[in-house]
Structure 1
Amino acid sequence: MPDAILELPLTLVQSLERRLVTATAVAASPFTGSEEVQDWGGEWWDYGIEMARSTGRDGRRLSAFLAALGGPRGRFLFRDPTIRQPGSLLAPQVAGGFQTGSQLVTAGWPPFSTPLFAGDFFSLGTDAQTRLHQLTADVETDEAGAATIAFVPRLRTAPIDGTPLEVSSPAVVLRLAAPVPTRIGRAESFLFTLAAREAL
């Protein structure tokens, strides 16, 4: 499959930093100090990922994985371990085509419930089209199990009607922001710190 993307091994993630970046510019008047904000509409995730210390063959395998990406040329799938909901049986999907913006009509939730809350994550799409989103309001469903959800970042493309939302193990496609140096210490111990951004 030419569009398939390799996943970063989660067992080696020690800590991470995640931030939502917006394409905005602020210009301040030198006379009044008032500011004008220009929103260009772009939004994406930036990650700083610190990998746990590994040794021997495990370290060399991870080094090979990162080298094969070729710096910013390659992309990889990352299932952020801090936002997983293991054991979740939720199976919501997009209800209706041609949707854009930061709200989405969905179906397939348990009726009359609040299955997810503001701050929870979900992803849409597969492989290179996978996009990560964070809810900005609680999901409140009606008698039919439908709900309009609000989230960031905004949709970049309209999802197809019936597209499933990944809730239990949301993912994001990342691209390295810079080549990753291999730091090798005593007893052949390896340390890696990755700077990456959403691959758009």
Structure 2
Amino acid sequence: MTTIALPSTFRPEMFSMRLATVQRAHASPFGGSEQVIDLLNDRWQISLTLPLGTQETAASNEAFLGSLRGMTNTVNLWHMARRAPRGTMRGSPLCQAASQGASQIVISGLVGDTLKAGDMVGISGLLLQVAEDATANGSGFITTKLVNRLRTSITSGVAVTWDRPTVPFRLMSTPSQQYMPGYGSGVALDFAEVI
């Protein structure tokens, strides 16, 4: 498995990112009451569309898709609609220790730093989304509720990536680049986070 670099021409015109949760629901055969079990193995999925372009752009996209070799190779992707947090947290923040399955983390930054709901951060190979607006307290610690739960434990002092946090994704669709006289068509792609 090789990580393939995105070509310089890779500029989606449409992008969506969603969290696929792993759950099991069980219903009672008698009263109909239900129980749902969260199996904690959340995974990000991305759908995007590359725009109509020149034949040169289309050739670059075609080579990129071929080099992914279906699901064999991976590519590092991020939330392409939000490269950086909408909040003010910047610099070199660190994460405090957190256990597998945790739904919140504590980040040390600067007094008054903020994170906004929907902001993405990368920690220890995990791509995490902030669930609610959060502000650093007087000691510079931001208690951050998460949309997705931690798949693994985090050790104290690990760096937090806020500028385009990436994780490996695998191509899930079987797209092809189509050509018309003078240009190449747009291409729809689906990816799933590698776990």
TM-score range, shorter chain: 0.7 to 0.9
| TM-score of the two chains, using structure 1 as the length reference | 0.82
- Tell me the SS of whatever aligns to 2:156: coil
Number of the residue aligned with 1:164: 159
Q: Deviation digits for residues 133-178 of structure 1, max 9, x if unmatched?
A: 1111222212221222221322222234322212132223211113
1:117 corresponds to 2:119? no
In structure 1, the gaps of 5 or more residues are none
Q: Give aligned pairs, total.
A: 192
- Tell me the SS of whatever aligns to 2:31: coil
Q: Extract structure 1 runs of 4+ deviating beyond 6 A.
A: none
In structure 2, the gaps of 5 or more residues are none
Equivalent residues of 1:136, 1:150 under 8 A apart:
yes
Equivalent residues of 1:114, 1:138 under 8 A apart:
no
Equivalent residues of 1:78, 1:171 under 8 A apart:
yes
Q: Deviation digits for residues 113-152 of structure 1, max 9, x if unmatched?
A: 2511222111224xxxx32111112222122212222213
| TM-score of the two chains, using structure 2 as the length reference | 0.84
CA distance in 2, matches of 1:33, 1:163: 45
Q: For the aligned residues, what is the CA RMSD?
A: 2.5
1:143 corresponds to 2:142? no
Of stretches 149-158 and 43-52 in structure 1, the one that deviates more from structure 2 is 149-158
Number of the residue aligned with 1:92: 93
Counterparts in 2 of 1:64-79, with a 5 A limit? 64-79=63-78
Give 1:39's aligned amino acid: D
**Which one has a larger percent helix, Structure 1 or Structure 2?**
1
Of stretches 87-96 and 19-28 in structure 1, the one that deviates more from structure 2 is 87-96
Equivalent residues of 1:14, 1:50 under 8 A apart:
yes
Equivalent residues of 1:52, 1:191 under 8 A apart:
yes
Number of the residue aligned with 1:22: 21
Number of the residue aligned with 1:174: 169
Give 2:139's aligned amino acid: A
Number of the residue aligned with 2:185: 190
CA distance in 2, matches of 1:71, 1:131: 23
Equivalent residues of 1:180, 1:192 under 8 A apart:
yes
CA distance in 2, matches of 1:60, 1:102: 43
Distance change in 2, residues 1:99/1:26 (3 Å): closer
Of stretches 26-35 and 142-151 in structure 1, the one that deviates more from structure 2 is 26-35
